[in-house]
Structure 1
Amino acid sequence: MADDLSTPLTGRRRKPAEPRSFPVARILFALVLLIGGAFILRILLTDEPDGGRPSQEVAITSTRNGNELASTVSTGPVTITADPQQYPAGTAPAAEAAGEEPGTAAGLFATLPDLVEETELGAIPRMSASGDTPFSAYLRPADQAAASGQPLVSIIMVGLGINEQGSLEAIDQLPEDVTLAFAPYGKSLGNTVAAARQQGHEVLLEVPLEPFDYPQNDPGPHTLLTGEVPRANLDKLFWLMSRFGGYIGVINNMGARFTAAAADFSPVMEELGARGLGYVDDGSSNRSVAPQLADGNEVPYARADLMIDTNPSRTAILEALASLEAKAVENGRAMGIVTALPISIAAISEWSSALESRGITLVPASALMQ
């Protein structure tokens, strides 16, 4: 040990140095930052709205004549011949019959011009200056049937207008005395309602009203709600009323909460009375104040007695129709509601064909509206 201590420092052996570790992680991190920075700079500095997607420029102009009619009009007069099937023989558009220009509210809806009011939301029905009402103008006459002394039955089919083809099939298959109610949301309501009226049916407008479990159970856009200011509900009503024309009145779609709230329902019923429209209660709520409000506003009114196709099977529907007949025999009249299901349409057609032989008369809804 003494030798070691006395040995000069320069003479000691040095331990070999440990190899230095290569900073791979730092280099990778720097590369990621470099690539990310380059990508951001490319986005900021490159004007390429297509984002690198392949594209090809095509000239807008073309030598092909894509619109012969437009080209003809631009160079000279042209005569356009209407489709002969557009207005069947013996009929004429309401606008022409009334001396109005096509495209006006009366022409569009095939309604009487004196019974149409133009609003910012569209054309809606009104009472004429002479006191004529849409209810009396558009109902299907049934005076002879009502005077027969036989029990009267009325059927209202609801839910039409959403499916154009299904609605047209229902219109063709159902007896003329079945009243048809159209939802306000179809894209071709003008066509389907016009077809229904041309076939002799009277029509109703379905108005969505607030149920107790709203909005979990939602009747649709523009639903009239409780607790809103009257103006807001009336604006919704006017929008709904402008969807088509030629109807005798409205029928509620749901609405157990709304029809039980007199303060909210009253302005609506007052508006119906002022415009000469009727109201049909579908009978789904015993708390409805519709009878009192209709009477106070002189609104033609009826309440349905039975929902026919709660069980949508042929046997159940025919049994419900038999119950409706029994109510008619007992009370002199009865009204049923049925949805626009194919099974319901077929059952109503079958049932009605033998109704007269049982001493009962099928009449439109207006015949039972006081």
Structure 2
Amino acid sequence: MSSRNRKSRSSRFSLNRSNLPLIVAAAMTAASVVVVIVVMLGSDEPEPAPKQSSDIAGPAEPVPAETLPPEKQAGADPIGDLIASLPDQSGARPETSTGTAPADPSSVDGEPAWKRYATAVTVPEGQPRIAVVIDDVGLNRARTNDAISLPATVTLAFLPYGDDLQKLADKARTMGHEVMLHLPMQPDSDKDDPGPQALLTSLPPGALGERIAANMDSFTGYVGFNNHMGSKFTADQAGMGAVMEAARSRGLMFLDSRTTPHSKGGAAAARFGVPALSRDIFIDNVATEAAVRKQLDKAAAMAREKGHAIIIGHPHEATIAALRAWIPTLKDVSLVPITALLDATGGVPALATTPEAD
């Protein structure tokens, strides 16, 4: 054989070897097709249904694909189906089976926030109860910690524009206290500043709703809210209606601080089905220890007479000192969180009888 012929045969052999993987792949594909065809033609019997356990309910019948819109049918959009199957990292609330988002994370599995975050207490049957609420908590860290360190269960109302609200609120709850939102509202006097993001009667509905949401989203773990100032805003029926609509969706209760005898808070709460209570006594309009102690004794007498009392104070040094001295003297009266009085009173707010300053 000539060297020219040997070279030609060698070249053809090399070419065939380089194409060997492609030839093998093609052969395997052809074999797979043959197997599928044989299986499809080999039996006309339907696949037997899986056995159903007699004591376990089976899954609901699937909806036939032809009854679904094209974009929901399997295989209509494989890329979209893949993206939809990925975990949601956006932080958006998932939709329920009805296609609507839950009303609010504050209300889970049908249990409202005022029950889920309530502090459990045991009170002897028939014993008078007093709920002590400390307003304006969260601005001064030292005084906030003084209030948290009180030796009995109290309710701490945090302003939404304080620092480290979540950390402080969690600490208060860990110490056995109940927590509320102290919602800033417009007072009658323009000289009094309720703080940033306060609810104003002049705000259009959209802007008012945004402020309500911003304040209520400032921290979590609270059972409800009471008004900070608000002698003008709480007298506004439409404004209080907007607040109660938000409160209902979040499962919150309302404590009317009663800074005006014209408050529409109780009526609005009843209209929207929001559990509501009303303050009885401010204990530190005069912020001296002696004056506060006098108001505390007045509250104890009221509780013994009608079974309960709701008092509001502030984290003044005199107020905290008076409470520390007074709490151990209570032998026949129980200090309880604010939610404990919802059962005692039925959640019906008392009518304001005397106006008090914001």
Deviation at 1:211, TM superposition (A): 1.0
1:80-107 Cα distance to aligned partner (Å, 9 max, x none): xxxxxxxxxxxxxxxxxxxxxxxx899x
Alignment-derived partner of residue 261 in structure 1: 236
SS at 2:111 equivalent: coil
Alignment-derived partner of residue 132 in structure 1: 111
Alignment-derived partner of residue 164 in structure 2: 188
Which runs of 4 or more aligned residues in structure 1 lie more than 6 Å from their structure 2 counterparts after TM superposition? Answer: none
Q: Which has the larger radius of gyration?
A: 1
Equivalent residues of 1:152, 1:332 under 8 A apart: yes
Query: Matched residues in 1 for 2:255 and 2:340: separation?
Result: 12
Alignment-derived partner of residue 333 in structure 2: 360
Counterpart check, 1:249 vs 2:224: yes
Q: RMSD of the alignment, in Å?
A: 2.7
Query: Matched residues in 2 for 1:105 and 1:338: separation?
Result: 39
1:131-159 Cα distance to aligned partner (Å, 9 max, x none): 111111001123x31x5201111100111
Alignment-derived partner of residue 150 in structure 1: 127
- TM-score using structure 1 length: 0.63
Query: Matched residues in 1 for 2:147 and 2:328: separation?
Result: 15
Counterpart check, 1:306 vs 2:286: no
Equivalent residues of 2:152, 2:335 under 8 A apart: no
Q: What 5-or-longer segments of structure 2 have no aligned partner?
A: 1-90, 94-100, 348-358
Counterpart selection for 1:296 from 271, 283, 303: 271
Alignment-derived partner of residue 205 in structure 1: 181
1:57-206 equivalence runs, <5 A: 125-128=105-108, 130-142=109-121, 144-145=122-123, 148-172=125-149, 174-206=150-182
Alignment-derived partner of residue 226 in structure 1: 201
Equivalent residues of 1:135, 1:247 under 8 A apart: yes
Percentage of identical aligned residues: 34
Query: Matched residues in 2 for 1:151 and 1:187: separation?
Result: 36
1:166-208 Cα distance to aligned partner (Å, 9 max, x none): 2123212x13411111111122212211110111111001111
Q: Relative to structure 1, is the Cα distance of residues 105 and 334 closer, same or farther in structure 2, using a 3 angstrom cutoff?
A: farther
Query: Matched residues in 1 for 2:234 and 2:166: separation?
Result: 29
Q: What 5-or-longer segments of structure 1 have no aligned partner?
A: 1-103, 107-117
Equivalent residues of 2:183, 2:215 under 8 A apart: yes
Alignment-derived partner of residue 251 in structure 2: 276
Query: Matched residues in 1 for 2:206 and 2:324: separation?
Result: 42
Counterpart selection for 1:315 from 271, 281, 290: 290
Query: Matched residues in 2 for 1:240 and 1:105: separation?
Result: 19
- TM-score using structure 2 length: 0.65
Deviation at 1:303, TM superposition (A): 0.6
Q: Which amino acid aligns with 2:148?
A: I
Q: Relative to structure 1, is the Cα distance of residues 105 and 167 closer, same or farther in structure 2, using a 3 angstrom cutoff?
A: farther
SS at 2:232 equivalent: helix
SS at 1:211 equivalent: coil
Equivalent residues of 2:112, 2:250 under 8 A apart: yes
Greater shift in the superposed pair: 281-290 or 303-312: 281-290
1:27-65 Cα distance to aligned partner (Å, 9 max, x none): xxxxxxxxxxxxxxxxxxxxxxxxxxxxxxxxxxxxxxx
Paired residues, what number? 251
Alignment-derived partner of residue 6 in structure 2: none
Equivalent residues of 1:125, 1:241 under 8 A apart: no
Q: Which amino acid aligns with 1:137?
A: R
Q: Which amino acid aligns with 2:264?
A: V
Deviation at 1:364, TM superposition (A): 0.8
